[in-house]
Amino acid sequence: MLIDNPWFYVAALPAVLIVGISKSGFGGGLGLVSVPILAFTIPPASAAAIMLPILCVMDLMSWWAYRRIWDRRNLMILVPAALVGLAIGGLTFRFMSEDALRLIIGAIALLFTLDHWLGRRPKLAPSEAGIGLGAICGTISGFTSFIAHAGGPILQVYLLPQRLDKTLFVGTTVIFFLIMNYVKLVPYAYLGMLSAGNLTTSLVLLPLAPLGVWLGLRLHRLVSQALFYRLMYFLTFAAGIKLIWDGLHLGARLGL
């Protein structure tokens, strides 16, 4: 049945808007916040299932804006690896510790950004799209994307050092997650997560999707290349903090 808890919708409003803005404007790094925010009021698995159809609609809207602007080599490296990660996630979903996963990915995101900010080495030239690192990051991103729509931070660990043009960066992430989210529909349905109640709730929240995407596109055009990259590193750092916070259940321990 349709969720009738009013606090769920209080949580859903910012969750959906933040994801839409992040996806179309800044590469989707904060897409991971949706499940933790909704999980304050419903089980995490239900939160992930409700968000997936909304993400798919956002992906289509964002794809239209970036359909001609994406990096072919990066996607050729990342997508096959991510599909392997999705398969692993689907097979291990019922046995996986979400907390351990959050801690690992959060630590990677934190170390990556701290190394960028505090590293005492000469400024390096932009890195190339490497197959080895791309395969590793793609697999982990696909896996974490399946578990909790949290594939953004590890994808940014791979893409940010390349210093792509900001629009090329976002366009590449849009195409990547478009593929990932539509593929996820199959195992989510097979696992019984796309129930009539979850789908009905997704439909109720769907009008927020175009608003979030539109806001993200507007902000993307207003932000300079230099500011964009400063924001991306900050968002990756913030995502790492959030993942570690949730993995350690600090909010629950502090009574928040």
| Nearest by Cα to 187 from 96, 92, 90, 94 | 90
In which residue ranges of the chain is pLDDT below 70?
Answer: 29-33, 36, 96, 98, 101, 105, 119-126, 250-256
Percent of the chain clearing pLDDT 90 (strictly above):
40
Q: How far, CA to CA in Å, does 126 sit from each of 77, 129, 164, 169, 175? A: 18, 10, 8, 13, 22
Q: Note whether 176 and 25 are within 8 A (CB).
A: no
| Nearest by Cα to 105 from 152, 72, 52 | 152
pLDDT tens per residue across span 136-155: 999 999 998 887 787 888 89
Six token digits for residue 146: 């399946």
